[in-house]
Amino acid sequence: MTSSFFLTGLSRGFFVMFFYDSFFFCMLIFLSTV
């Protein structure tokens, strides 16, 4: 029970981190082109 909850929290954390990283990368490219 606890391990599965920890696993879902960990995967969610990685997904959020990847989402913010890709968003920051896109903003960086947008600012460099403008």
- The whole-number pLDDT of residue 1 equals 57
The pLDDT score that the predictor gives to residue 29 is 93
Alpha-carbon distance 32 to 28, whole Å?
A: 6
Residues 13-21: contacts with CB under 8 Å, at least 24 apart: none
Q: Record the tokens describing residue 6, joined without a space.
A: 């920890």
> What is this structure's pTM?
0.49
d(CA 22, CA 33): 17
| pLDDT at site 2 | 74
Domain boundaries, the chain: 1-34
Question: Which of residues 3 and 28 earns the better pLDDT score?
Answer: 28
Residue 3 has pLDDT above 70, yes or no: yes
- What's the pLDDT tens digit per position in 4-27? 888 888 888 888 888 889 999 999
Query: Distance between alpha carbon 22 and the CA centroid of its chain, in Å?
Result: 7
Question: Residue 14: enclosing H or E segment and its boundaries?
Answer: helix 2-33
